[in-house]
Amino acid sequence: MAAAGLASLSVLAVPIVLRGIVDGPIAHHDLSGLWPLALALLLLGLAEAALFGVRRIIVARPLAKVETKLRGDLFAKLQRLPISFHDRWPSGQLLSRATSDLFVMRLFLAFPLVFLVVNSTVFLTGTALMFTLDWRLALITLIPAIPLIIYTRRFEAGYSAASRLAQDQNGDLATVVEESVLGIRILKAFGRHRTMAEEFRRHSADLRETELRKADLLGNLWAAIVGLPELALGAALATGAVLVAHDELSAGTLVAFLSTALALRWPVESIGWLLGFAAEAASAANRYFEVMDEPEPTDPPSGEAPSDDRGIRFTGVRFRYPDAPAGTPDLLAGIDLHIRPGETLALVGATGSGKTTLTALLPRLYEPTAGSITLDGTDVRDLPREELRRLVAVAFEEPTLFSATVRENVLMGAPGADPQRLAGALDTAQAGFVERLPEGLDTEVGEQGLSLSGGQRQRLALARAVVGEPRFLVLDDPLSALDVHTEALVERALRRVLADTTALVVAHRPSTVLLADRVALLDDGRIAAVGTHHELLQSCPAYRALMSGESELEGALAR
C-alpha cells in the first residue's frame, strides 16, 4: 500500500510542476528555466513506474502463501468434519470453494484491496489540492459526488446478491461435471449422456444469465461514474476559461487544476470495478467461512469409568440421520449387543434395516443419537480419534480407491507396515492379480480405482483393512463382488485373520454367515435374535426366511 500510495501521489505532483512551467518559463518565454522542471516531470514518471513495479514484486510471495494457507486450512477442515456434513454438501460446491473462491480472494488482496485504500487516499488528497488551487472550480467538479454515492450503495446490494448466486451456480455446475465424469459408464450404458448434457447446458445457461446481470449492473455503474464527472469537468473547464479571460485565474492554475482532475479520473472510474470485485471477494469469503465455521465433532467424555467388559458392546444405541423427517422413527431404536473378545459376529437383516449404519457407528463415522459403544470396556467417545481409527479397521461393500498406486492404497490401512505384512494382507485378500499388473504394486489404479474390476477393488479394500492387524475389524459385506471360487479362497484365508481379532461382519450370503461364531438378526431397529447360524435356523422364523430367500435366489441364479 505504501508503494502504490507513493506512486499514485507522485502523479498528483505533476500538476504542480505543470503550473510552474506554464506560469514560469512559458509565460516569461524563459526556456532556460524549462529544463529543470522537465527533468522533474521525467523523474516523477520514473518514480511512479518503479514504485508500481516494487508493489507487484512485494505482493506476490506473501499472497501466494496466504492462498496456500487458506486452502490447506480448508482441506484440513474437510477431513475433520463428520460424514453427516459431507452427506449434505455436494462435492462440486466444496471444490469451487477450494479453487475459484480462493482465487477470487487472492486477486482481491493483490490489487483491489490495495487500491480501495490507495485510491481513496489519492482522491481525498487530490480533492484537497483542487480546493487549494481554486475552490469554485473544485465545488463544480464535486457536484456528481452525492448522486454517485447514492447509486453505488444501491449497486453494492444488487451486485453482492448476483455475485453470491453466480458462485453458487458455479459450484452446481462443477457438481454436474464431476458426477458426469465419475458416472460416465452408467451414462453411456443407458444412453443418458444427452440427458446429462442437457442438465449441463441448463446450469450453464443459468450461470450465463447471472453473469450477464452482473455485467449489466456494472455497466450501468460505470456509465454513471464516467459520465457525470465528465460533465462536471466540462463545466469546470468552461468556468475556468471565463475566469482566466477576466484575469481572476492564471492559465497555469487552470492547467494544474485540470491536470489534477484528470489525474483523479482513474481513482473515480475504478470505484465501480473495485466495488464489484469487493462484492465478489466478500461472497467468496462468506462461502469459504460457511465451511470453516461448521462445528466440528467434539469428544465429550462419556462420564463412565472404564470397565473390565472386554470385546465390543452396544448398549441402548439409537440413531437417526440429521435430515430425517420429523416424526419418523429412529433407524436404530435401541441396540443392545455384545461381541466377545476374539469372536466374529455376523450381522444380518433385510435391506434398509440399518446394518451399514450400525457398523459406521463403531469407528465414529457417525455419532449415535443415544446410548454407548465400548471397546474393551472403554467408551469410544473417550478414545482419541486417531487411536480409535488405529484400533478399528473397516472394509466397505462399495470400496473406494484413490488415484495412487496399489501399494499406497493398501498401506493406507497401516502406513508403517513392512513388506511382509503387505504381502500377507494381499494374500489374505487373494489379490495375487496385482503381480500381473503392468508395474505390479506400483501400478496407478486411476481415479476411484475404475481401471480395476469390482472384485479387484473389493479385494484391495479388504487387504487395506487387514494389513494393520487391527484389534477390531468391521467388514460390510466385503465379498459381494467376488465369484464363488474366489470367495471360497478369500473366506479360507480370512478365517485365519478373524481368529486373532474381534470382528463385526455384515453378511448377506449364507457362505459369509458361516465365517462367524454367532449371528445377530437386525429387525425394526433392534436386535431381534442372537445365536449360531444353526440355532437361528431352528428357532427364528424371520432368520430362516431371510436365509432361505437368499439360498433360493442363489439356486435360481445357478440354474
* Shared domain check, 506 and 433: yes
* Shared domain check, 447 and 358: yes
Chain segment 324-360, per-residue pLDDT in tens: 788 788 889 889 999 999 999 999 988 888 888 899 8
* Shared domain check, 61 and 142: yes
The DSSP-derived string for 175-199 is: HHHHHHHHTHHHHHHTT-HHHHHHH
Q: Is residue 304 part of a domain?
A: no
Cell of 487: 470367495
Output DSSP code: residue 101.
I
Percent of the chain having pLDDT more than 70? 95
State how far the Cα of 313 lies from the Cα of 372, in Å rounded to an integer: 8
* Shared domain check, 355 and 267: no
User: Contact, 48 vs 65, CB < 8 A?
Assistant: no
Q: Is residue 294 part of a domain?
A: no
What angle, rounded to 10 degrees, do the helices at 34-80 and 102-110 form? 160
* Shared domain check, 369 and 231: no
First to last CA, the chain: 80
Domain of 403: which CATH number? 3.40.50.300
Domain of 68: which CATH number? 1.20.1560.10
* Shared domain check, 457 and 346: yes
The answer to whether the Cα torsion of 15, 17, 18, 23 is positive or negative is positive
pLDDT of residue 557: 36
Q: Is residue 477 part of a domain?
A: yes
In the block, cell 488415484 appears at 403
Q: Is residue 302 part of a domain?
A: no
Cell of 424: 500377507
Chain segment 287-336, per-residue pLDDT in tens: 999 999 998 877 656 556 566 678 899 999 999 887 778 878 888 988 99
Sheet with 378-379, strands from edge to edge, namely 332-339, 312-319, 370-375, 378-379
Domain count, the chain: 2
* Shared domain check, 402 and 351: yes
* Shared domain check, 232 and 319: no
Chain segment 415-435, per-residue pLDDT in tens: 888 889 999 999 988 888 888
The domain in which residue 475 lies consists of 312-558
Q: Is residue 507 part of a domain?
A: yes
pTM of the entire structure? Answer: 0.71
- HEC secondary structure over 104-122: HHHHHHHCHHHHHHHHHHH
The maximal CA–CA distance of the chain, rounded, in angstroms, is 121
User: Contact, 122 vs 12, CB < 8 A?
Assistant: yes
3-state secondary structure of 332: strand
* Shared domain check, 320 and 280: no
What confidence category does residue 549 fall into, taking pLDDT thresholds of 50, 70 and 90?
A: low
Burial 498-529 (b: 16+ CB within 10 A, else e): beebbbbbbbbbbebbebbebbbbbbebebbb
C-beta neighbour count of 316 within 10 angstroms: 12
C-beta neighbour count of 274 within 10 angstroms: 20
* Shared domain check, 318 and 282: no
Percent of the chain having pLDDT more than 90? 16
| Cα three-residue angle 286-80-297, rounded to 5 degrees | 95
Q: Is residue 307 part of a domain?
A: no
Beta carbons within 8 Å of 52's beta carbon, 6+ residues apart: 3, 4, 7
Tell me which of 286, 301, 322 is where a domain ends.
286
Q: Is residue 17 part of a domain?
A: yes
Q: Has residue 183 got a pLDDT over 60?
A: yes
Tell me which of 231, 251, 286 is where a domain ends.
286
Q: Is residue 305 part of a domain?
A: no
* Shared domain check, 401 and 280: no
- Residue 253's nearest CA partner among 547, 226, 331, 261 is 261
* Shared domain check, 329 and 255: no
State how far the Cα of 332 lies from the Cα of 358, in Å rounded to an integer: 8
